[in-house]
Amino acid sequence: MNMISTNKLLLAAMVFIAPKLPAQAAEYDIDPAHSFVEFRIQHLGYSWLYGRFNTINGSFNHDPGAPQHNKISVEIDTASVDTNHAERDKHLRSEDFLDVKKFPKARFDSTSFTGSAEEGVLAGTLTLHGVSKPIEINMKKLGEGKDPWGGYRAGFIGTVKLLRKDFGMGYQLGPKSEDMELELGIEGIRKP
């Protein structure tokens, strides 16, 4: 084996046995095409009604080495509510619920994170229907890494339960429909 072949073989071996570099702290833009805010609420106690907000944007900071520095800001276009039923969506946009003309945006801004790089609790302020309240979202990291287009992505899933009346939405739907569950799926693209 000649010297050039030996060097190529050593280089290839180093690539395969070298430890992977840990992910680093970075800022990410939320990818709205691969992120979502979904909700579910009981309908009269007989079934579940599912819906989502189709338009969200924002950014987050992800630091696997110091997860207590993780933070996120998400803005939701309330008029983008979608339950796959046009008349119901029109009612949800009205003054009885979201009142989208008066409150076109909902927003979450985190204030702290406790937990590990893989999961924890994200605390922050949710502003919905003109009311700002502290909430805590249970978060889990789904993964991170390079994408096929030369970028780098990170993704998370979170859940939280809210009382509608805490946000000024007291339209009577029955006792089983006082609270609603939200699920947030966030995928971000690391900023250059």
- Res 44 pLDDT > 90: no
pLDDT of residue 9: 45
pLDDT value for 1: 55
- List pLDDT tens digits, range 98-143: 999 999 999 999 999 999 999 999 999 999 999 999 999 999 999 9
More confident of the two residues 81 and 16: 81
Summarize pLDDT for 56-103 with one digit per residue, the tens: 999 999 999 999 999 999 999 999 999 999 999 999 999 999 999 999
The full 3-state SS of 32-56, as one line of letters, equals: HHHCEEEEEEEECCCEEEEEEECCE
The rounded percent of the chain whose pLDDT value lies above 90 is 79
Tokens for 47? 């079934």
Low-confidence winner among 17-31, 66-80, 152-166 (lowest mean pLDDT) = 17-31
In this prediction, residues 38-61 reach a mean pLDDT of: 94
N-to-C CA span, the chain: 42
pLDDT score of 90: 97
The yes or no reply on domain 23-190 and CATH 3.20.20.150 is: no
pLDDT at 43: 87
Rounded Cα distance, 142 and 159, in Å: 13
- C-alpha pair distances (Å), 130 with each of 1, 15, 43, 97, 99: 74, 54, 25, 12, 9
Looking at residue 35, its pLDDT comes to 97
Percent pLDDT > 70 in the chain is 88
User: What integer pLDDT is reported at residue 16 of this predicted model?
Assistant: 43
pLDDT confidence of residue 19: 41
Going by pLDDT thresholds of 50, 70 and 90, the confidence category of residue 39 is very high
Residues 2-26 have a mean pLDDT of 51
Residue 135 three-state SS: strand
